[in-house]
């Protein structure tokens, strides 16, 4: 039970924030509504990354001397959508990503279609993918050099990709890439 | 608007050596990194932590020390105290982060790099949203516990959520992971303005999430302070 109010010259000193409660309730309802809507129909964002097909990525990596960056994601994954908006739709960051590594986008379709293609399944198994997004940097010898689970924000993500890419170029690798 | 409340709160915060030291840590290192990297990107995430430092103990410390009882003897309403302390924390955090950003811009210009104006506007907008969000959450927590207990509550909630994220990842509990992501969004409300720079459609979910968190935190903070027994006898 709140203590008794003493009305001051400017009205009660403990005025209930009724307007704020109403605005908060409306915004909460909008939050739930837009959350459900955007989960089904995520806002269209341009994907500016030059993704390489998984089949040709090792050859491309061998030719360019860059590591492969596997981005394991799913259509329903919220952090993956945030990464798409903040990194893959950014002209500078997407160009930087393509210059640092050979990017490969692997989308899990288990929830939508009940299964994945054999290639997606084998890549997920080899790289022990348990959560989305999982990013794996694979070096010249075909071995995973570094990995991260979740999206830490664009600055941290780009800084991690840069470090992992530099590490992969400095590591003594075999000239031929193993698949995957 | 009660300028006295805002000015008094900011004066109190800016004369606390501990807070000034923490704010220096939050601003000096990113500024150094921005100058070294020749890019303003390192200066993007300052406003949130600055708002947390400024807003920590905004209500609770004054309740514990008895200052709030004295303040409320004057014709100042309780909602006004909460809103003005939140505003003061936002203004302080924005002032420091925009000032640091300007220093970064000057340093970059001196080195011959011209920062992108759109990118700069985006950083200022994101800083404002981050400061407003973090300050609202901290002020709300500050009305719940005395002293600097809000910092403890905030840290405990962050650690607990991180533990749940670990458990959810391990057990593949998508619902738990989604819930943790929402809780993390509530603890550190941020709003990306990338869509404005790249002329993309905005995410209305992100906008309503941020706005609902800020309004709800302020409403809870005001309601809690309204119901608190504040007297020297009560403590």
Helix axes B17-37, B3-14, angle to 10 degrees: 80
Which residue does chain B place closest to A134, by CA atoms?
B169
Q: What is the pLDDT of residue A176?
A: 42
Chain A residues in contact with B77 (beta carbon < 8 A)? 8, 10-15
Q: Give the range among B49-58, B110-119, B213-222 with minimum mean pLDDT.
A: B110-119
Structure tokens at A138: 């694979």
Chain A residues in contact with B75 (beta carbon < 8 A)? 8-10, 13
**Average pLDDT for residues B158-170, to the nearest whole number?**
86
Q: What is the pLDDT of residue A105?
A: 93
Res. B149: pLDDT tops 90: no
Mean pLDDT of residues grouped by 10 in chain A (180 residues)?
Answer: 52 79 93 86 79 89 87 86 83 85 91 86 89 87 84 82 79 48
Tell me whether residue A137 is in a domain: yes
Q: What is the pLDDT of residue B4?
A: 83
Which residue range forms the structural domain that includes residue B51? 3-226
Tell me whether residue B233 is in a domain: no
**Are both A125 and A155 inside the same structural domain?**
yes
Verify cis geometry, omega within 30 degrees of 0, for the bond prior to A133. yes
To the nearest whole angstrom, how far is the Cα of A107 from the nearest Cα of chain B?
A: 17
Helix axes A18-40, B204-226, angle to 10 degrees: 150
Chain B residues in contact with A91 (beta carbon < 8 A)? 198
Determine, for residues B198 and A17 on separate chains, whether the beta-carbon distance falls below 8 Å: no
Q: How far is A14 from A170, CA to CA, in rounded Å?
A: 65
In Å, how far are A77, A107, B29, B141 from B101, measured between CA atoms?
Answer: 33, 38, 12, 29
Q: How far is B130 from B190, CA to CA, in rounded Å?
A: 5
Tell me whether residue A138 is in a domain: yes
Domain count for chain A: 2
Q: What is the pLDDT of residue A141?
A: 74
Chain A residues in contact with B2 (beta carbon < 8 A)? none
Structure tokens at A31: 């939050």
Q: How far is A61 from A40, CA to CA, in rounded Å?
A: 35
Q: How far is B45 from B50, CA to CA, in rounded Å?
A: 9
According to DSSP, the residues that pair with A144 across neighbouring strands are: A138
DSSP string for residues in A5-25: P-EETTEETT---HHHHHHHH
In Å, how far are B150, B177, B214 from B222, measured between CA atoms?
Answer: 15, 31, 12
Q: How far is B111 from B105, CA to CA, in rounded Å?
A: 10
User: Considering only CA atoms, which of B29, B55, B62, B59 is closest in space to residue B130?
Assistant: B55
Q: Give the range among A157-161, B42-46, B82-86 with minimum mean pLDDT.
A: B42-46
Three-class DSSP labels, B34-53:
HHHHCCHHHHCCCHHHHHHH
> How big is the CA angle at A57 (ends A56 and A58), to the nearest 5 degrees?
95
Tell me whether residue B64 is in a domain: yes
Structure tokens at B222: 């005001």
Model ipTM over 0.90: no
Tell me whether residue B166 is in a domain: yes
Q: What is the pLDDT of residue A180?
A: 42
Q: Please indicate if any CB of chain A lies within 8 Å of the CB of B235.
A: no
**Are both A34 and A113 inside the same structural domain?**
no
Tell me whether residue A134 is in a domain: yes
Q: Give the range among A9-18, A19-28, B73-82, B92-101 with minimum mean pLDDT.
A: A9-18
Tell me whether residue B235 is in a domain: no
**Average pLDDT for residues B26-50, to the nearest whole number?**
83
**Are both A120 and A86 inside the same structural domain?**
yes
Q: What is the pLDDT of residue A90?
A: 81
Tell me whether residue B231 is in a domain: no
Mean pLDDT, rounded, of chain B: 86
What percentage of chain B reaches a pLDDT higher than 70?
98
**Are both A101 and A144 inside the same structural domain?**
yes
User: Considering only CA atoms, which of A148, A125, A123, A153 is closest in space to residue A136?
Assistant: A148
Q: Out of A17, A35, A85, whose CB is closest to B79? A: A17
Which position has the token pair 């998508």? B174
Structure tokens at A4: 């008794």
CB B48 within 8 A of CB B133: yes
**Are both A32 and A70 inside the same structural domain?**
no
Cβ contacts of B150 within 8 Å, gap of 6 or more: B56, B57, B58, B60, B138, B141, B142, B144
**Are both A160 and A72 inside the same structural domain?**
yes
Helix axes B47-55, B17-37, angle to 10 degrees: 180
Tell me whether residue B232 is in a domain: no
Q: How far is B215 from B210, CA to CA, in rounded Å?
A: 9
Tell me whether residue A119 is in a domain: yes
Tell me whether residue A81 is in a domain: yes
Tell me whether residue B155 is in a domain: yes
Q: What is the pLDDT of residue B215?
A: 95
Q: What is the pLDDT of residue A179?
A: 42
Tell me whether residue B180 is in a domain: yes
Which residue range forms the structural domain that includes residue A156? 57-170
Tell me whether residue A22 is in a domain: yes
Q: List, in sequence order, the alpha helices (H) in A68-174.
A: 78-83, 91-100, 110-113, 118-126, 154-170
Please name the residues between 53 and 112 in chain A that touch chain B, using a CB distance below 8 Å. Answer: 78-79, 82, 85-86, 89-91
Q: Please indicate if any CB of chain B lies within 8 Å of the CB of A117.
A: no
Report the predicted TM-score, pTM, of the whole model to 2 decimal places.
Answer: 0.69
Q: Is A160 exposed, middle or buried (0-12, 13-18, 19+ CB in 10 A)?
A: middle
Domain count for chain B: 1
Helix axes B117-144, B47-55, angle to 10 degrees: 30
């Amino acid at each position: 039970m709140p203590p008794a109010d003493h009305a001051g010259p400017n009205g009660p000193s403990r005025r209930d924030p009724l307007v704020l409660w109403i605005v908060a309730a409306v915004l909460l309802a909008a939050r739930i509504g837009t959350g459900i809507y955007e989960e089904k129909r995520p806002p269209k964002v341009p994907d500016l990354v030059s993704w390489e097909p998984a089949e040709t990525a090792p050859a491309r990596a061998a030719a360019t001397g860059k590591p492969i960056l596997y981005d394991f994601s799913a259509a329903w994954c919220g952090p993956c959508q945030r990464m798409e908006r903040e990194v893959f739709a950014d002209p500078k960051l997407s160009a930087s990503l393509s210059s640092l590594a050979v990017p490969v986008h692997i989308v899990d379709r288990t929830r939508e279609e009940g299964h994945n293609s054999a290639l997606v399944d084998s890549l997920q198994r080899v790289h022990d993918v348990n959560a989305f997004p999982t990013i794996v940097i694979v070096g010249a010898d075909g071995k995973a050099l570094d990995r991260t689970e979740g999206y830490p924000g664009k600055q941290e993500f780009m800084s991690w990709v840069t470090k992992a890419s530099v590490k992969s170029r400095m590591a003594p690798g075999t000239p031929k890439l193993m698949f995957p | 608007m009660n300028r006295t409340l805002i000015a008094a709160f900011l004066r109190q915060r800016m004369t606390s050596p501990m807070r000034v030291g923490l704010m220096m840590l939050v601003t000096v290192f990113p500024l150094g990194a921005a100058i070294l990297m020749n890019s303003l990107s390192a200066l993007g995430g300052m406003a949130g932590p600055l708002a947390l430092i400024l807003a920590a103990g905004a209500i609770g410390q004054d309740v514990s020390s008895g200052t709030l009882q004295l303040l409320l003897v004057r014709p100042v309403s309780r909602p006004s105290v909460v809103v003005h302390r939140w505003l003061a924390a936002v203004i302080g955090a924005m002032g420091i982060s925009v000032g640091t950003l300007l220093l970064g811009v000057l340093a970059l210009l001196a080195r011959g790099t011209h920062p992108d104006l759109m990118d700069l506007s985006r950083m200022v907008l994101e800083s404002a949203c981050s400061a407003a969000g973090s300050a609202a959450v901290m002020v709300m927590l500050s009305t719940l516990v005395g002293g600097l207990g809000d910092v403890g509550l905030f840290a405990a909630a962050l650690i607990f959520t991180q533990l749940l994220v670990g458990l959810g990842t391990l057990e593949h509990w998508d619902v738990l992971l989604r819930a943790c992501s929402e809780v993390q969004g509530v603890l550190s409300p941020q709003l990306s303005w990338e869509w404005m720079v790249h002329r993309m459609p905005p995410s209305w979910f992100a906008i309503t999430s941020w706005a609902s968190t800020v309004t709800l935190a302020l409403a809870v903070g005001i309601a809690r302070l309204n119901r608190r027994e504040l007297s020297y006898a009560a403590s």
